Amino acid sequence: MLVRLLYASRSPKSIESEVIDSILAQSRKHNPELGITGILCQGGDVYLQVLEGGRAAVNQLYNRIVQDKRHLDVVLLHFEEVTERRFAGWTMGQVNLAKVNASLLLKYCELPALDPHGMSGRAALALLEELIATAQIIGRAG
C-alpha cells in the first residue's frame, strides 16, 4: 500500500548548505532501496518535505526524522493512502527557495517566505505542485 506523508520542521540552527547536501545525499543513497520518493523544500530555518512509498517504510523514516536532532517542531501536515505516486521521479528532489518568485509564496503563505507551520496540508501540497509545474525542483532522478 502506497502512502504520501507531508511534514514540516525547523532547524535548531541556521541551515548551512553542507547540512542540506548531507540530508539530500543520505536520502538519495538510501531512499531507492526503501522504495521512497519525495521532495525536500527548505527556506530559512524551515523544512517542508513529502515522502511517498510503502506505509511501513514511510512511517519508519518519518519516526527517524522526528528523532533527528537536525529537526525541531516536527509537524505532520498531511498523510494519505494513494493509488499512485506524485513524486515518483525524485529519489529526493530539492527546491531552492532563494530562486522562487516571492509572489508564488504569497499565494500560499501569509508572508513571502516559506511558513509551512502556518499552512494547511492542502495548501502546502498545492505549493509543491506549483513548484513542480514551474520547474523549480532540482535533483530529479534518472
- Tens-place pLDDT, residues 111-121: 888 888 888 99
Contact between 117 and 133 (Cβ < 8 Å): no
Q: Which residue has the higher pLDDT, 4 or 98?
A: 4
What is the rounded CA–CA span in Å between residue 142 and residue 105?
29
Give the bridge partners for 138, in sequence order: 94
pLDDT over 90, % of the chain: 32
DSSP secondary structure code for residue 137 in this structure: E
- Tens-place pLDDT, residues 22-59: 777 787 788 888 999 888 887 778 888 899 999 999 99
DSSP 39-83: EEEEETTEEEEEEEEEHHHHHHHHHHHHH-TT-EEEEEEEEEEES
What is the rounded CA–CA span in Å between residue 81 and residue 89?
19
